[in-house]
Amino acid sequence: MVKFEEAHARLFKNVFVCKRCKSKQKSTMQRVLQGKILCKKCGGKAFRTLRKAK
């Protein structure tokens, strides 16, 4: 899908999706696992990584 490693990192690295409202947010994995990140829209703490399109 992405031909440049820089573009791939910009699109997918440290991007998480809220499980409740499906909004995207950039953060590190450590902060997500510690529960320090809140969703901007709904205030939830449950996130998953951004899946790559086929």
User: Could you read off the pLDDT of 1-54 as tens digits, one per residue?
Assistant: 668 888 888 888 999 999 999 999 999 999 999 999 999 999 999 999 998 876
Encode pLDDT of 32-47 as tens digits: 999 999 999 999 999 9
CA 43 to each of CA 14, 28, 29, 36: distance values in angstroms, whole numbers, following the listed order? 19, 18, 18, 11
Q: Taking the CA atoms of the chain, what radius of gyration do you get in angstroms? A: 12
Residue of 25, 27, 21, 15 lying closest to 52 (CA atoms): 15
